[in-house]
Amino acid sequence: MIQYEQTLYFYLLLLIPLMVLGYALFTLWKKRVLKSLASAKMIDHIAPERSSFKGWFKQILFWLGWAFICLGLVNPQIGTELETVKREGVDLVFAIDVSKSMLAEDIAPNRLEKAKRLTSELINQLVSDRVGIIAYASSAIPHLPITTDYTAARLFLSSLDTNMISSQGTAISAAMRLAETFFDDENQTNRVVCIISDGEDHGDDALAAASRAAQLGITFFTVAVGTEKGSVIPLKIGNSTSYKKNEKGEVVITKSDFNQMQSIAKATNGLFLDGTNTDDVVTAIIDRLKDMDKQEFEAKQFAKFKDQFQWFLGIGLFLIVLDLFLFYRKTQWVKKLNLFQDV
């Protein structure tokens, strides 16, 4: 089986017919000029060692060399070779709050978009760790199973919104319970759940859920988005904007609960971070992941196409160099064989 890596370079081969045509026209023009200046016998007398065959032979070498170099640039990949891949890393699940309170704009552009940006930047810094995504509000749903496909992770991340879960409210404990069943590798010693939320919790006791998860070897990193001062929750319908109100008709002010998030992290010997500065959050989490023991969770052999460009480039350069060292004079040992009258 063969495949070509850079097919664009095939277009350079189209120059060869143009070079052949150009040289043929040049040869005809040169013959007409010489014929107008002197007879064939006189030319043979003036330049007895001149070879008309060598000119074409040199050009053919150059054209062949050009063709092989073009093929080298295309890089034909022929056959396969086996390569062992070993992956070592941490299983990292992002539990992202998608409740209506995440629409608050006390952190630009809003809490949810900030959470998505933090997650995206973290994924960009990962190398061989596996990632998963949980979305939660009053309940939790698996949004992306554990995977090493970071492209898919970014795609699923971008689709998160506050309409995913119809029943509203925020139950961090629901996300924690789902996280307990989310990891699919029993041998993985480092299991990390990164909760990105404003910390509001209307569910069961989150600290009890955190303690239970800690016994299963799960560590919680908590990232608080929003401010403790709080903000209103904008609800956009078409081009108009209103604000969420409670049962009494009063505008709701949602405040980030830093203490709650900090307590969850502390219960699992994890990490609590203020999500205001994206770079600081990413650096802190990546540094902590680097300090963790890496579990080898995948070892595969897969077929890979083997590059063959070096052979074509080598042959092409050899033919062009050979062309440079050939002269237009007749070759004496060939002349002695008397195979051709004009060699």
Secondary structure letter of residue 337 according to DSSP: H
322-343 tens-digit pLDDT: 888 776 565 554 455 454 444 4
Residues 57 and 204 in one domain: no
Which residue type, as a one-letter code, is found at position 143? H
Residues 286 and 330 in one domain: no
Q: Which string of b and e fits 243-262 if b means at least 16 CB within 10 Å?
A: ebeeeeeeeebbbbbbebbb
Residue 118 lies in a domain: yes
For residue 188, name the pLDDT band (cuts at 50, 70, 90).
low
Residues 168 and 236 in one domain: yes
Residues 230 and 321 in one domain: no
Residues 8 and 55 in one domain: yes
Residue 53 lies in a domain: yes
Residue 8 lies in a domain: yes
Task: Determine the structural domain holding residue 71 and report its residue range.
Answer: 2-75+308-337
Q: How many domains does the chain have?
A: 2
Residue 342 lies in a domain: no
Residues 155 and 277 in one domain: yes
299-312 tens-digit pLDDT: 555 566 778 888 88
Residues 234 and 104 in one domain: yes
SS3 39: coil
Residues 56 and 161 in one domain: no
Residues 113 and 221 in one domain: yes
Q: What is the pTM of this model?
A: 0.62
Residue 27 lies in a domain: yes
Residues 272 and 326 in one domain: no
Q: Mean per-residue pLDDT for 166-184?
A: 82
Residues 113 and 169 in one domain: yes
Residues 54 and 107 in one domain: no
What are the beta bridge partners of residue 141? Answer: 135
SS3 220: strand
31-71 tens-digit pLDDT: 787 777 666 566 555 555 566 667 778 888 898 999 999 99
Q: Cβ distance 143 to 133 under 8 Å?
A: yes
Query: What CATH number does the domain containing 134 carry?
Result: 3.40.50.410
> Quick one: residue 28, left, alpha or beta (phi over 0 = left, psi -120 to 50 = alpha)?
alpha
